[in-house]
Amino acid sequence: MQKIVVILGPTAAGKTSMSLTLAKKFNGYIISADSRQIYRGMDIGTDKLTRNKWQGIKHRMIDIVNPDDDYSLAQYQKTVFAIINDQKKLLPFLVGGTGLYIQSIVDNLDIPKGGPDKVLRKELNEKTVQELFRMLIKIDPKTAQVIDENNKRRLIRAIEVCKTSGFKYSDRTKKNKPVVNALQIGVKISREEMYKKINKRVDEMMEEGLLDEAKKLGEKYDWDIPSMSAIGYKQLGLYFKKELSLDEAVELIKNDSRHYAKRQMTWFKRDSRINWVSSANEAEKLIERFL
């Protein structure tokens, strides 16, 4: 069974720098497990590492679809398994903070395959993310606890599965026999330090041109498409629609980022298999024993 190393943790924990160090040491390549970095043009807001900073390490699952393309968890899982099977000479590092992406690979999830209900989707798409989230809390509180409440597409899909199948989305996402042998490493960070880094990162993103990036995306795509609900773009969209001042939008990005990081930790804390480390040196020792 193919061995893989997972580097996970909340936003701003330091996953990227650690993964580059480890991939270089262990002759590896990186597969992104970030549900927003799959989109082309969404670079600054997703804190995407540009090619000139890859340090010679191959990266996969970045910039693979346009923001207005549909892309499912099942597609992600199928593509990542194909990459892992095709690249057997290098050690795969699955790196990111999207818990469901990671679990789909580690546990070979049996993802609900039910086809789309176009009438229901149209009805749900007319609701706000807040309304959808409240609806999900009522019908599947377990999924509501860990889902990205700003991701309209995922909210709609979870509700759709519940309503069309009669089963909760959380009950239908079952584990199959694993096809990879995964070592999961979590990057440990205190809540205080994490919040400090999030606030600093948002300020840096604004300095790097996030406002201009969001403006260009808003001119090309509808603000209501699922990808544009990503933290950073959604809040600046409210600024461009004159619903918030720029200062208010930036503060909302920071607040929503902190809230998202808390949800990420809620998700990861459920998995006792994760080895939490504070440094690349600790991670190195774990990987050496694993290999």
Q: What is the CATH number of the domain that holds 199?
A: 1.10.287.890
pLDDT band at residue 161 using 50, 70 and 90 as cut-offs: confident
Report how many domains make up the chain: 2
Q: Which domain holds residue 203?
A: 192-261
- pLDDT at 81 (0 to 100): 97
Among residues 185, 228, 255, which one has the least CA distance to residue 247?
255
Lowest pLDDT segment from 97-106, 148-157, 190-199: 148-157
Lowest pLDDT segment from 19-33, 71-85, 115-129, 173-187: 115-129
Question: What residue ranges in 102-173 does DSSP mark as E strands?
Answer: 109-110
Q: What is the CATH number of the domain that holds 151?
A: 1.10.20.140
Would you say residue 190 has pLDDT above 70? yes
**Are 174 and 147 a contacting pair, CB within 8 Å?**
no
- Tell me whether strands 109-110 and 174-175 are parallel, antiparallel or unpaired: antiparallel
Instruction: Say yes or no: 257 and 196 in one domain.
Output: yes
101 belongs to a structural domain: no
- pLDDT at 142 (0 to 100): 83
Instruction: Say yes or no: 123 and 155 in one domain.
Output: yes
89 belongs to a structural domain: no
Among residues 31, 33, 34, 181, which one has the least CA distance to residue 106?
181
List the beta bridge partners of residue 175: 109
Higher pLDDT, 291 or 145: 291
Lowest pLDDT segment from 62-76, 97-111, 157-171, 235-249: 157-171
29 belongs to a structural domain: no
- pLDDT at 146 (0 to 100): 76
Would you say residue 165 has pLDDT above 80? no
138 belongs to a structural domain: yes
Instruction: Say yes or no: 168 and 197 in one domain.
Output: no
Predicted model pTM: 0.85
- pLDDT at 172 (0 to 100): 57
77 belongs to a structural domain: no
Instruction: Say yes or no: 199 and 247 in one domain.
Output: yes
- Percent of the chain scored above 90 by pLDDT? 72
72 belongs to a structural domain: no
Would you say residue 200 has pLDDT above 60? yes
80 belongs to a structural domain: no
List the beta bridge partners of residue 2: 180
Give the chain's count of helices (H) and strands (E). 13, 8
185 belongs to a structural domain: no
- pLDDT at 114 (0 to 100): 58
Distance CA 65, CA 278 (A): 34
**Are 235 and 252 a contacting pair, CB within 8 Å?**
yes
Radius of gyration of the chain (CA): 19
Distance CA 16, CA 234 (A): 24
Instruction: Say yes or no: 222 and 256 in one domain.
Output: yes
> What average pLDDT does the structure give for the chain?
92
Instruction: Say yes or no: 158 and 217 in one domain.
Output: no
Instruction: Say yes or no: 165 and 214 in one domain.
Output: no
Once rounded to an integer, what is the mean pLDDT over residues 259-270?
Answer: 93
**Are 143 and 170 a contacting pair, CB within 8 Å?**
yes
pLDDT band at residue 113 using 50, 70 and 90 as cut-offs: low
